[in-house]
Amino acid sequence: MENMDSAKPVIKLENFVKNYITGEVEVPAVRGVSLEIMPGEFVAIMGASGSGKSTLMNTIGCLDRPTSGLYLLDGVDVGSLNRDELADLRNQKIGFVFQGFNLLSRTSALENIELPMLYARHRISGREQAKRASDALTLVGLGERGDHHPNQLSGGQQQRVAIARALVNQPKLLLADEPTGNLDTYTSIEIMGIFQKLNDEGITIVMVTHELDIASYSKRTVVMRDGRLVGNQPVINRLKASTELAKLHQEQQAIKLTA
């Protein structure tokens, strides 16, 4: 993965405001948020529906621009870029993981992972694409499933493929929007284990979640309410995925013995 300059924030928001126009009414979605996220952090953004967390995430992901205020992504002023420049920045700097996986159903796992490389500014050879995709799939523990289609994979395996796809362009930032929303408890913890491993290797992760237990796997939580930042603190009793998986396994074994 690409090394980051640890002296500057990956994400810097200063008095960030985002309003939407509904009919003739201007609706404030985010109201004057200032926030910095440094290289190597793992931050969970939390908040109720309508709190502004999704709008904040869309802006961090260069899918939208501020109405006013400043957003710097790795030192680049996002508000000054045109649509093509935003698309280039997303492709170069950011990997996305979604709740719904968003895999192409008639395409193999490896081919799904290769997709972001097709849009890279600099052409990547077919051989290099195949190697990167294979390496990314191995990284998430599915190296032997490259020729499988999504309908041949479990939900957790599909999310692993989606994570590999997000990593294949070697981004500086991984954005995850409710990545465990469609998964059971055990599989959710497995996905958090992958995120913790990636974070330990230096990749910066920002994750939107409404689940407090899932946020406990991050290093810092940011809480939104009514478009404002109302909480910003480190996770004190951080959960470690490997420990929680071992506990669940023991519980399952105990249930089998008493059944």
Closest CA to 208 of 47, 17, 31, 36: 47
User: What pTM does this model have?
Assistant: 0.89
Strands (E), 74-219: 76-77, 94-98, 173-177, 204-208
pLDDT tens, residue by residue, 29-44: 999 999 999 999 999 9
The percent of residues above 90 in pLDDT, for the chain, comes to 51
Q: Would you tell me how many other CB atoms lie within 10 Å of the CB of residue 231? A: 11
User: Which residue would you say has higher pLDDT here, 87 or 11?
Assistant: 11
Reported confidence tier of residue 121, pLDDT bands at 50, 70, 90? low
Rounded to the nearest 5°, which phi and psi values hold at 254? -65, -40
- Average pLDDT of span 60-83: 89
Q: Are the beta carbons of 215 and 235 closer than 8 angstroms?
A: yes
Classify residue 238 as left (phi > 0), alpha (psi -120 to 50) or beta: beta
So what's the pLDDT on residue 1?
46
pLDDT tens, residue by residue, 230-253: 999 999 999 999 999 998 888 888
User: Which residue would you say has higher pLDDT here, 121 or 133?
Assistant: 133
DSSP per-residue letters across 61-83:
TTSS--SEEEEEETTEEGGG--H
